[in-house]
Amino acid sequence: MSARSFPKPIFVDTNILVYSTDKSMGAKHDKAMALIASLIENGNLVLSTQIVREYSNVFLKKLGNKEAGSLIGYADNILIPYVRVIETPEMIRAAVLLAVDHNIGFYDALILQAAIELGCGTLYSEDFQNGREYSGVKIVNPFL
C-alpha cells in the first residue's frame, strides 16, 4: 500500500482574500478570486487566525457593521475551515527574529512564520519582495 500524497500547503496573505471579495478591484478581484477558488479546489489553501482577524477588520471598516452577517457567513464557510495555525508565543518570538533579521514588518513576519511552520512552499502576497525565499517559502505576487 502506498502512502497517500497530500498537496503542499499554500499560504495566502490577507490582501489576496480582500481582493477576492472586492469587485471594485477589477482585474485584481478576478485574479484573486480565481486563485482562491483554485487553491480550495486543489485542497492546499491554508490560513492562520491572524489572516481571519485582519480580513474581518478590513471587511468591517469597508462595509460597516450592517454587513456583519455576511462577514460571519464568509468566515464560517471560507476562512475558518482553512485555518491551520493559531499563533503561539513561540511563533511570536520567531516572528520577531524574522522581522529583525530580514528587515520586514512584525505582522508580515508573523504571517511568514505561520507559512514556515506549516511547511508551505508558497506564500501569495503583495507585501513582500516577489520571488524572494525565506526558509523554503517562496513569495509570489499573483498580480505581477
Residue 137 near residue 127, CB atoms below 8 Å = no
Residue 73 near residue 109, CB atoms below 8 Å = no
Is 100 among the domain residues?
yes
C-alpha cell at position 84: 491551520
Whether 1 shows a pLDDT value over 80: the answer reads: no
Euclidean distance between the first and the last CA atom of the chain, given in angstroms as a whole number: 42
Could you read off the pLDDT of 55-78 as tens digits, one per residue?
A: 999 988 887 777 788 888 889 988
Is 30 among the domain residues?
yes
Q: Output DSSP code: residue 134.
A: E
Is 32 among the domain residues?
yes
pTM above 0.85, yes or no: yes
Could you read off the pLDDT of 72-123 as tens digits, one per residue?
A: 888 998 899 999 999 999 999 999 999 999 999 999 999 999 999 999 999 9
Query: 103 is in which domain, residue-wise?
Result: 10-135
Whether 40 shows a pLDDT value over 80: the answer reads: yes
Is 35 among the domain residues?
yes
Q: What percent of the chain has pLDDT over 70?
A: 95
Domain count, the chain: 1
